[in-house]
Chains A and B, each alone.
Chain A
Amino acid sequence: MSAAGFMGRALSTAGLWLGFASAASAAWELNMPVGVTEITRETYQLHMLILGVCVVIGIIVFGAMIYSIFAHRKSRGRDASQFTHSTKVEVIWTTIPFAILVAMAIPSAGTLIRIEDTRASDIDILVTGYQWKWHYDYQDEGVAFFSNLARPSNVARRLRSGVDPFTVDNYLLDVDQPLVVPAGKKVRLHLTSSDVLHAWWVPELSGKRDAIPGFINEIWFQTDQIGTYRGQCAELCGRDHAFMPIVVEVVSEENYASWLDERREAPARAAARAGGVEDAAPQQWTLETLMAKGEETYMATCVACHQADGQGIPPMFPSLVDSAVVKGGVGEHIDVVLNGRPGTAMQAFGPQLGDAELAAVVTYVRNAWGLDSGDVIVPDDIAAARAGEAETAVAGRTDVGRASARHAPAE
């Protein structure tokens, strides 16, 4: 533990923080993390400063009160004085706090100005919040991907899942694909959202900033300390707000470069990561393989809203079992899943999932829960739907965040 951290702990336990807090052990985290950037360190110092000011004022005020409670009680045979005012002390206790506040305001403003200086960045990443995952798009690198809650946490967090959270590594604070950035570079994030408000926050790297649909906010950090840093979405964004963590891996520049190469190698690979069997020949797809894969995709992607039994949570999240779309033509069904319903939580999954996954999940939905339509949708159907749409699309879909941010709030 750093000296400042220790000071903080001592101060917080000793002063204002009375009573049982002193029973604190290492597991009982008491204070704000110091973090690994210049800004978080400054913020921490500000926090300790203002806390210290409050503790000192508290000691004086509470000291006076406690003294008075013991000394000026009737049971001590006191007779009450009858003074009613004193302009002199009124002036004193108006001006001294004012002076203290001015003294506090100056360093706070300084830090704030430094935080807001987002210029001269080395790396720019467009970060888009979705219900309930993050999308990262490295602006100059042609690398983009979604970052979801990691599988083990996602299983354990279901109501009465029977899994003890303590047995899951980094429960709720782990993702399938972390944001990877190089040490020593000024990383600037451009935050926006495709649906509702979210907030991007990794306490050890920076403060939080809201992701607002239709607007871009900036936030930046820069650290030399290689490591993994965890945080969470910090603005209520609906049902699974607790389940959209953020993980940032700060790596050496070489590792960053090789990571980029790996990501860039084949855009197909990115889709394949999710698809897995993407390059398998079409004739290999049977209802069974599609159903198996579809169930997997459904449980990872759709279940949060439409629920494991397909019943949804009406009226917010419609039942798929009773859905006219699901029972209707395949074309419209694919269209809904591919493009979403703008302005609702039903987002466009076209940019998020590979053709195989989409085919599988649509097949699954049409055949699960006793629907048994027998429809088999193969990846080529999805590809065809995408192609048909590309002709009519206005905005290019090279940039996921841009396209969806533009469309989401519309209509």
Chain B
Amino acid sequence: MASKDLDSTDRLEQLREGEHHGPDSGIKRWLFTTNHKDIGTLYLVFSLLMFFIGGAMAMVIRAELFQPGLQLVEPDFFNQMTTMHALVMIFGAVMPAFVGLANWMIPLMIGAPDMALPRLNNWSFWILPFAFTLLLSTLFLPGGAPAAGWTMYPPLVLQTGNAFPFMIFAIHLMGASSIMGSINIIVTILNLRAPGMTLLKMPLFVWSWLITAYLLIAVMPVLAGAVTMLLTDHYFNTSFFRAAGGGDPVMFQHIFWFFGHPEVYIMILPAFGIISHVIPTFARKPLFGYAAMVYATASIAFLSFIVWSHHMFTVGMPLAGNLFFMFATMLIAVPTGVKVFNWVATMWRGAMTFETPMLFALAFLFLFTIGGFSGLMLAIVPADFQYHDTYFVVAHFHYVLVPGAIFGIMAGVYYWMPKWTGNMYNETLGKLHFWLSAIFVNVLFFPQHFLGLAGMPRRIADYATQFADFNMVSSVGAFAFGASQLIFLYLIYDCVRGGRKATAKVWDRPTGLEWSVPSPAPYHTFETPPDVTYVDTAHGSHGAYH
């Protein structure tokens, strides 16, 4: 069937003709698509669904913790909720959201016709719904879902019932999806940039994703290895994590956190990228210290490989180990600080307006920094002996994850939604969503610092009475925060359906290739790459042509 005699360029033209037809109709468009915009949309919708499922689980947690005593669920089910909440939020909500944004925006930002490997792109996405079917189906099995925490520490996790292989294989699938997605992103960035876009002219979202994808490829296989060892310890009689056989339960923790710590930066670096676009746009001022931002991101990524044991200060490592990991962890505050300072300097003497994306970006800046501060406190080993496994840790990571990663995603969604849909979203609703979220996220998580310091351990379904007051406050905050997200849902629906038409530029004076195509972005963009040799693509806002 290979028609070698046919002139290959003719063939190519013929094939390319097909492309201009736009999307297929009906369900086939979504199942079989290789278009980066379609796939980006799929990722984003999937992530929103998962955010609500994971959030519903969090609501169960907060409802049970509303007051002391067990009112709603058995402790075992509570543990299942905690475990699944985390797995769903991390692997289902945050990571796919970032990949979705990458799919939509990276080709637009670097002037590429699509992702480098479009079929693989489809596969990366379509593995995910199946992986989560596998994981979520455990809720309906006899014995219920995994309940050993998202960290899956043995030996406890080996007591998991029927859910055990489902959890392991779901993680294998998620890992495969992430690795393929990351390979695609790296290759796209390295190979498909528009002529003239040198590495140090890449927009920061692209930079942050390049580094994130590298982290992903480096650590997801390690997680796969770790859970594979769990599987064989459970079913095939190996002794990796069994002292009697010469193994060590703590070894799992080392391998897990070698993945786990870079993983937490995987969940924040793309948000850093988004913020680096939003702030310049609404400050109408070029990003301050572009090169420093790039180097800082790279340093964070590098350091993230040598700090993992700060999650395990209490396992009884030798003194030298604890000291090393304490120092290395503290160091991360330096490059992260550089980023924070640069964002503030970008705002400095700008001409700011406060549309919803900017509001989320500013809340990110405040609240992520608070989360970072508590992170630094956790790094101090003697203090961590007190903080560890208490609600202080829960408060820390929700500050960096919810007003950090999630607000970062929200900022990005508001910022680019007009480009995707061609319509402006409802600004009033957007602001309402922001203010309710920003207020209640603090009501929800701030008291958890106090709970942790006062001695409330995490992962407990019931607690001593002296923790009652702050838990109630936190739960009220949780319900209000959760309910506020329904506004977001409606707003998206509303914006997709219609609204004031967006211009190509959407905002006042943004720079970047994504603003040079019409809104909504046509199904195929940059089939002929633009030449950006004389265009500023790095600073996210106009000015500074040099």
Does A16 sit within 8 A of B, measured CB to CB?
yes
In the complex, the answer to whether B347 meets A108 with C-beta atoms within 8 Å is no
Question: By the criterion CB–CB under 8 Å, are B388 and A316 in contact?
Answer: no
Is A84's beta carbon under 8 Å from chain B? yes
Contact A82 B286 (CB under 8 A): yes
Find the A residue at minimum CB distance from B241.
A409
Contact string against A for B residues 461-472, beta-carbon threshold 8 Å, 1 for contact and 0 otherwise: 111111011100
Stretch from A140-148, A211-219, A320-328 contacting the other chain:
A211-219
- The interface residues of chain B lying within 8 Å CB-to-CB of A344 are 159
Q: Which of B291, B333, B382 contacts A115 (CB 8 A)?
A: B382
Q: Which of A40, A54, A84 is the most central at the interface, judged by chain B CB atoms within 10 Å of its CB?
A: A84
**Contact A85 to B464, CB < 8 A, known contacts A108-B381, A199-B389, A236-B148:** no
Which of A69-77, A331-339, A373-381 lies on the face that meets chain B? A69-77
Q: Is A390 an interface residue when CB atoms closer than 8 A count as contact?
A: no
A-binding segment of B17-25, B71-79, B419-427: B71-79
Residues of A within 8 A of B73 (CB): 159
Which of B28-36, B266-274, B448-456, B523-531 lies at the interface with chain A? B448-456
Say if the beta carbon of A195 comes within 8 Å of chain B.
yes
Asked if A17 is an interface residue, CB under 8 A from chain B, the answer is yes
A19–B449 Cα distance when bound, in Å, is 14
Q: Mark A93-123, 1 if CB is under 8 A from B, else 0.
A: 1100110010011001101110110000000
In Å, the complex CA distance between A85 and B70 comes to 56
A29 & B323 in contact (Cβ 8 Å cutoff):
no
Does A42 sit within 8 A of B, measured CB to CB? yes
**Residues B473-500 near A (CB distance < 8 A):** 473
B540 to chain A, nearest CB (A): 11
Asked if residues B455 and A28 are in contact (CB atoms below 8 Å), the reply is no
A72 in contact with B314 given A29-B466, A196-B159 (CB within 8 Å):
no
In the complex, chain A residues whose CB is within 8 Å of the CB of B75: 239-243
Partner of A105, one of B327, B366, B443, B539: B327
Residue of B nearest to A70 (CB): B352
CA distance A237 to B458 in the complex (A): 12
In whole Å, how far is A250's beta carbon from the nearest beta carbon of chain B?
18
B224, CB-defined interface residue at 8 Å: no
Q: Contact mask B342-378 → A, CB, 8 Å, 1/0?
A: 0011011111111000000010011001100110110
The CA-CA distance from A178 to B454 in the complex, in Å, is: 21
Cβ-defined contact, A80 with B351, below 8 A: yes
Q: Judging by beta carbons under 8 Å apart, are A50 and B288 in contact?
A: no
Q: Is the CB of B543 within 8 A of A80?
A: yes
* B543 surroundings in chain A (CB, below 8 A): 80, 82, 84
Decide if B460 is an interface residue (CB 8 Å cutoff). Answer: yes
Could you say which residues of chain B place their CB within 8 Å of the CB of A17?
A: 446, 449
Q: B143 at the A/B interface (Cβ < 8 Å)? A: yes
Query: What 0/1 pattern do residues 286 to 315 of B give for CB contact below 8 A with A?
Result: 111111100000000000000000000011
Task: Kindly list chain A residues whose C-beta atoms are within 8 Å of the C-beta of B383.
Answer: 43, 46-47, 50, 108
Q: Provide the bound-state CA to CA distance between A232 and B389, in Å.
A: 11
Which B residues lie within 8 Å of A81 (CB)?
A: 285, 348-350
Report the minimum CB–CB distance from A112 to chain B (whole Å): 5
Is there contact, CB below 8 Å, between B155 and A197?
Answer: yes
Decide: B453 and A108 in contact? CB cutoff 8 A.
no
Contact at B462–A214, with CB atoms within 8 Å? no
Cβ-defined contact, B289 with A90, below 8 A = yes
Per-residue interface assignment for chain B, residues 130 to 156, with 1 indicating a CB less than 8 Å from any chain A CB and 0 otherwise: 000000000000110001110001011
Docked Cα-Cα span, A104 to B331, in Å, equals 11
Q: Is B326 an interface residue (CB 8 A)?
A: yes
Contact (Cβ within 8 A) B459 A210: no
Bound: A58/B377 CA distance, A: 13
Docked complex: A302-316 residues within 8 A CB-CB of B: 313-316
Q: In the bound complex, how far is the Cα of B161 from the Cα of A50, in angstroms?
A: 43
Contact call B377/A51, Cβ cutoff below 8 A: yes
CB-based nearest B residue for A200: B314
- Check if A207 sits within 8 Å of B462, measured CB to CB: no
Whether, in the assembled complex, A30 has its beta carbon less than 8 Å from a beta carbon of chain B, the answer is yes
The reply on A395 being an interface residue by CB < 8 A is: no
B 220-260 to A, binary, CB cutoff 8 A, 1 in contact else 0 = 00000000000000000000001111001110000000000
Q: Is the CB of A209 within 8 A of B337?
A: no
Q: How far is the CA of A410 from the CA of B247 in the complex (A)?
A: 11
B331 contact set on A, CB distance < 8 A: 101
* Given A80-B350, A196-B156, A208-B385: A165 in contact with B68 (beta carbons within 8 A): yes
B463 touches A172 (CB 8 A): yes
Query: Which residue of chain A is the closest to B390 with respect to CB atoms?
Result: A234
B127 on interface, CB distance cutoff 8 Å: no
Whether A68 sits at the interface, judged by CB under 8 Å, is: yes
Query: Which of A50, A195, A208, A214 is close to B314, meaning CB atoms less than 8 Å apart?
Result: A208
B187 at the interface (CB under 8 A from A): no
> A210: which B residues are within 8 A, CB to CB?
314-316
Answer whether residue A231 sits at the interface, using C-beta atoms and an 8 A cutoff: yes
A75 to B355, CA, bound (A): 13
From B147, B249, B326, B345, A214 is in contact (CB under 8 Å) with: B249
Bound-complex Cα distance A113 to B334 (A): 25
Which residues of A163-216 are within 8 A (CB) of B?
163-166, 170-173, 195-197, 199, 201, 203, 206-210, 212-215
In the complex, are the beta carbons of A84 and B287 less than 8 A apart?
A: yes
Q: Which residues in A have their C-beta under 8 angstroms from that of B468?
A: 166
- Interface flags for A48-64 (1: CB within 8 Å of B; 0: not) read 00110010011001101
B155 touches A409 (CB 8 A): yes
Partner of A69 from the list B142, B349, B362, B377 (CB cut-off 8 Å) is B362
Nearest chain A residue, comparing its CB with the CB of B338: A94
Question: Within 8 Å of chain A (Cβ to Cβ): is B170?
Answer: no
User: What is the CB-to-nearest-CB distance from A115 to chain B, in angstroms, rounded to a whole number?
Assistant: 6
A271 at the interface (CB under 8 A from B): no
Q: Does B184 contact A (CB under 8 A)?
A: no
Given known A-B contacts A212-B316, A315-B161, A78 and B457 have beta carbons under 8 A apart: no
Q: Does B380 contact A (CB under 8 A)?
A: yes
| Smallest CB-CB A-B distances: 7 pairs | A214-B243, A207-B385, A242-B460, A217-B316, A82-B543, A29-B454, A54-B373
A-B residue pairs in contact (CB < 8 Å), sample of 24: A20-B443, A32-B453, A39-B382, A46-B383, A58-B369, A64-B344, A65-B366, A69-B352, A72-B348, A81-B350, A82-B286, A84-B286, A90-B338, A108-B326, A172-B463, A195-B155, A208-B314, A212-B315, A232-B460, A236-B156, A239-B76, A240-B75, A314-B143, A409-B244
| Besides A109-B323, A207-B384, A314-B143, 8 other A-B contacts (C-beta < 8 A) | A16-B370, A42-B382, A72-B348, A81-B350, A84-B543, A112-B322, A197-B156, A208-B389
Chain A residues with CB under 8 Å of chain B are 16-21, 27-33, 39-40, 42-43, 46-47, 50-51, 54, 57-58, 61-62, 64-65, 68-69, 72-75, 78-86, 89-90, 93-94, 97-98, 101, 104-105, 108-109, 111-113, 115-116, 156-161, 163-166, 170-173, 195-197, 199, 201, 203, 206-210, 212-215, 217-218, 231-243, 313-316, 344-345, 406, 409-411
